[in-house]
Amino acid sequence: MGKAIADRLLEAGARLAIVDVNPEAIKRVAETESRALAILADVSCEDDVRRAVDQTVARFERLDILVNNAGTEIPGTVEELTSKQWDRQFAVNVKGAFLFSKYSIPYIRRQGGAILNIASIDALVSYPGNAAYDSSKAALLAFTRTLAIDHGRDGIRVNAICPGYIDTPLLNSYFERQPNPPEARRAVVAQTPVGRMGTPGEIAEAALFLVSDAASFISGAYLVVDGGISVAGR
């Protein structure tokens, strides 16, 4: 989803700093797109985040949009999860958004702009054996609302997207953990009112809308992009 959002913003004319903990991912960006700055960093590390924001402003001289997309998922009930696993999910999914917002807002405030947090339908409807991930995504929605209240008068709009089942490597890893991966995939499709899973490109279109002037009076909101599965009762 992050790659799709980046590609769509580039198509719309943006210049981007793309942050990833995976050196191979940002290497591809650096090699193929002249308007994108590739930064190797861990979103849960404050020094990394401060450096990433400083590099971005040094390169582009301004910062208008922040998309907090980094996320990780470690399944398990509260009995099964270790404290380290719980902390890691909150460090990436919530603390990462906090740190990037903290260091980006002073620059976004200069001319106004938008912050977009990528949450999940797991913030709204919980799933068995996913205690830390579901909790972290719910926290991200509360964080979205608070940022919108605190920084609306700074000309900063803050919203979130709650994706459903989107055909990504992270989702595929979930299916592979199931006893019968093909059947698990078919079950998800069967439960989704539109009859299929979503694509990263569809999340990217929603992201472009929410950070654009077309959404100039939308703040503190979350947009559910899930094909209707969260209201279907599963």
Three-class SS of 122-140:
HHCCCCCCEHHHHHHHHHH
Two tokens at 228? 């209707």
What's 23's DSSP letter? H
pLDDT digits (tens, 9 = 90+) for 57-67: 999 999 999 99
Per the residue annotation, which of 103, 107, 133, 174 is the catalytic one?
Answer: 133
Number of C-beta neighbours around residue 216 at 10 A: 10
To the query of whether residue 133 is one of the catalytic residues in this protein, the response is yes
* Inter-residue contact 1 to 168 (CB < 8 Å): yes
Two tokens at 24? 């191979």
Helix H segments across the chain?
2-11, 23-32, 46-60, 83-90, 96-108, 131-151, 169-176, 181-191, 200-211
Does residue 232 lie within any of the structural domains?
A: no
Q: Residue 100: its pLDDT value, please?
A: 98
Q: How many domains does the chain have?
A: 1
CA max distance for the chain: 52
Residues in the chain where the model's pLDDT stays below 70 = 233-234
Does residue 115 lie within any of the structural domains?
A: yes
Q: Residue 160: its pLDDT value, please?
A: 98
Length of the chain: 234
Q: Report how far apart, in Å, the C-alpha atoms of 74 and of each of 4, 149, 182, 198 are.
A: 23, 31, 21, 22
Q: Residue 226: its pLDDT value, please?
A: 97
Provide the domain limits for residue 88: 2-225
CA distance 222 to 210: 10
pTM: 0.95
Does residue 234 lie within any of the structural domains?
A: no
What CATH number has the domain bearing residue 174? 3.40.50.720
How buried is 183 (Cβ within 10 angstroms: 0-12 exposed, 13-18 middle, 19+ buried)?
exposed
Find the angle CA(36)-CA(39)-CA(44) to the nearest 5 degrees: 135
Does residue 120 lie within any of the structural domains?
A: yes
Does residue 176 lie within any of the structural domains?
A: yes
Does residue 231 lie within any of the structural domains?
A: no
Distance of CA 95 to the CA centre of its chain: 13
Distance of CA 71 to the CA centre of its chain: 7
Does residue 136 lie within any of the structural domains?
A: yes
